A and B are shown apart, each in its own frame.
Chain A
């Protein structure tokens, strides 16, 4: 029953907040429509935009790679990181999808998730139960129990106290880190910039303090330009229930300065190296599919999860983590070719009503059901 308590508490915290945000900032609906158009344009011309993005990253002094599979992504990241390093991860579901953390640990690195939710599931060795709130399945009491592995004194602690333990523990990791690995909420094809939205501050520290910044993300995160990439970050934050977001980070290549004779040189105080790993892993194939392409519009706000009866009762047991919930039923098919989660859809319809990208999730899942039944 603890899952139900946890998710109900999350619903009561989050659902009215999102409704309030959209009411107080109605321009967000326009931004969402623009982001949808931009993402659609990219998905219709994905190869061209991947190439454009890679070139733009290189122009900004970084390096970019297209990884066909999770294994390719692990190999690329491994070559960049090496061994014996301290690595901080700034929350990336794509990095989870690609198995980056466990792989880097297995190759002799000290690797730490720094997002609180990700940190909790790392400590508990559990899969993420929600696309942006990976420890949604944990009640406060369970989170405290998990955090006791870091601070055995915790007992009857508040949410703030539990978060404070993570802050203290991870501070040292940030300062020592050789490599920071993040995801990307959006990637701008015209400038090669990676846009990241957050509230904790861990992403900002992950992208700035280490000498090497690696961003691992899916090809569907590409937007045609930096304007739309910024909008995506705001839309994701708002529909995820946190607006304004505490921080929006734009990383365009390694750090640089032009303070001497206005000549731009790299690095300055931030990373000396910037690497962008764009992961395919089934996304390019899905982009060509007349029905499934819609699933790639997902901006990972996680709102659909909270309006779904199947997710409400099954939680992490529906879909293949990190892809759970209604979006997960689509993405389990995109990435893993597994259409069985789609069979569970009851067409309750709340998902399509709340989706900022207006993905007709029930219709996509109906198509997946039909394909599964034809198999």
Chain B
């Protein structure tokens, strides 16, 4: 469970959040929906620990993770991962290199890394793509790889920042279903940001409008 208590944040002397409270239950699919500049991405980044609020607290399962401007639990220890809006795939690494990155950092044995990458590629329907370069993938395939990279370390929470914004309506629908399917199988908590109302309704078990 993630709990945000009395979060206050200003950007360029403009209040983004004032005494903002939010509770996200485990395994739910929360979609944060709102117009540009409403603070959707900022909220994700606060949860991830990539940004700090001016004041307020963020709790993860009864552990205080952020207190005011102090990050008490660093991002990589929050058992979460994130799919960025621009996907942030590393162009110098292959598909396998991208997915295996977190596993290599965790110093898992090579055999296990290979197996997990294979499983992940199977999950997202891109078997045999291990050695492909990022540039050779289509937009939809890149989205799937970003998703696989975020999920391969089995995070309890997955944060997604408008991951489908660049796709056409057909691909968007296809990947939406895929995300819901994966969330149901793997059982992670999903916090999903979008400005598309239809996308929000298709994915969410709960919607937060900013």
Q: Is chain B found bound to chain A in the same assembly? A: no
